[in-house]
Amino acid sequence: MLTSKTPPEARGGRNGGLFRPTRDSDSSFQGLGIPEFSIGVPGPPRGHPDLEPGGRISYWHTAQDTLEKIDPKVLELDTRYRVAQLYSMATLPNLPLRIVPVATSFQKALEEIGTAAGGALDLQSTNRAAAALLAAAMRLDGAPRPSDAKNRAALNQLLVRVTHQLNSRLYTKAGRFDQDPAANVPVLPLLARARELKALPKDSDTYGFLETELLRGRNAVESTLVEATREIDGYLVTAAPAATPGPPARQPRWGGAPSRGL
């Protein structure tokens, strides 16, 4: 069976690490905030005759991309990774989602935007909302895992709701009910133009329009942060006391180098 053995850890220093996926055909659900990750076998090393100078396989998505070019061993290992992913995600009693890294991403993005804006946009209340979310997420991490099906379902539903809300706000401009262009967008795109504000004359129409756009974006970001914090705290008040201390939730068993994730 494909899942009879956990795939080995990636070796040889070829772990590409985590990176944020672009908004393209592989990332169609970012607007909904669905977490995305992929894990697989690295491609050919640099200098391989099949690679173009830019690093892409020369025959990728062409008529020359035929079966005989497949290395069966690589295909088998890559398939093991992906089946192990699906099996683990389908059988874990508690979803392997954590809000702490997402809250940290908000704080980092706000810090970078604030520095770039040079004080042109007041983000104090936004930073407080992000800090409150991180504190709530840490309390959730420290709470006992639910020991019964009803409360496990409640936790999973919370994680799905909050993750969808936060990811959509963090990585898209159009949000859950429209589509961003199939191109790279900055983290926290509703506030990304804050860096432009400091270079504009304050009495100009351009400044006024951009300031209004950013204030609306700030309101949207803060609303998302506050609502997510309330959701977490509400769960901790009602559901967490019903949990009993026990071992941590079983985590995915696959090894290897994660290539992308939210």
- Total domains in the fold of the chain: 2
What letter does residue 182 receive in the DSSP assignment? S
- Between 87 and 255, the higher pLDDT residue: 87
Token pair 């220093």 is at which residue? 13
Does residue 191 form part of some domain? yes
Question: How far apart, in whole angstroms, are the C-alpha atoms of residue 76 and residue 12?
Answer: 19
pLDDT at residue 127 is higher than 90? yes
Q: What is the pLDDT of residue 248?
A: 45
33 or 110: which leads in pLDDT: 110
The verdict on 55 and 164 lying in the same domain is no
Q: Is residue 254 part of a domain?
A: no
Q: Are residues 113 and 236 in the same domain?
A: yes
120 with 214, same domain: the answer is yes
Question: Are 64 and 186 found together in one domain?
Answer: no
Query: Which ranges of the chain does DSSP label H, i.e. alpha helix?
Result: 72-91, 100-117, 124-142, 149-171, 194-197, 205-238
Task: Give the domain-ending residue among 91, 124, 157.
Answer: 91
CA distance 168 to 184: 14
Mean pLDDT of 112-127: 96
The reply to whether 77 and 179 lie within a common domain is: no
85 and 122 together in one domain: no
Is-contact 99 236, C-beta < 8 A?
Answer: no
232 and 106 in one domain?
Answer: yes
Tokens of 158: 């919370």
Domain residue limits at 84: 36-91
Domain check: are 206 and 81 in the same one?
A: no
Tell me: do 75 and 187 sit in the same domain: no
Residues 46 and 145 reside in one and the same domain: no
Residue 14 lies in a domain: no
Give 241-258 pLDDT, tens digit per residue. 554 444 444 443 333 333
Residue 13: per-residue pLDDT:
43
Does residue 222 belong to any structural domain of this protein?
yes
Whole-number percent of the chain with pLDDT over 70: 76
- Would you say residue 171 lies in a domain? yes
Burial class (CB in 10 A: 0-12, 13-18, 19+), 209: exposed
Mean pLDDT computed over 124-153: 94
CA atoms within 13 A on the CB side of 184: 4
User: Quick one: pLDDT at residue 172?
Assistant: 86
Residue 182 shares a structural domain with residue 64: no
> Is 113 part of a structural domain of the chain?
yes
Q: Specify if 210 maps to a domain.
A: yes
For residue 174, is it within any domain? yes
User: Based on the domain organization, do 149 and 70 belong to the same domain?
Assistant: no
Integer CA distances (angstroms), 115 to 27, 201, 232, in order? 29, 19, 29
Listed in sequence order, the residues at least 6 apart from 132 whose beta carbon sits closer than 8 Å to its beta carbon are 225, 226, 229
Residue 48 has pLDDT above 70, yes or no: yes
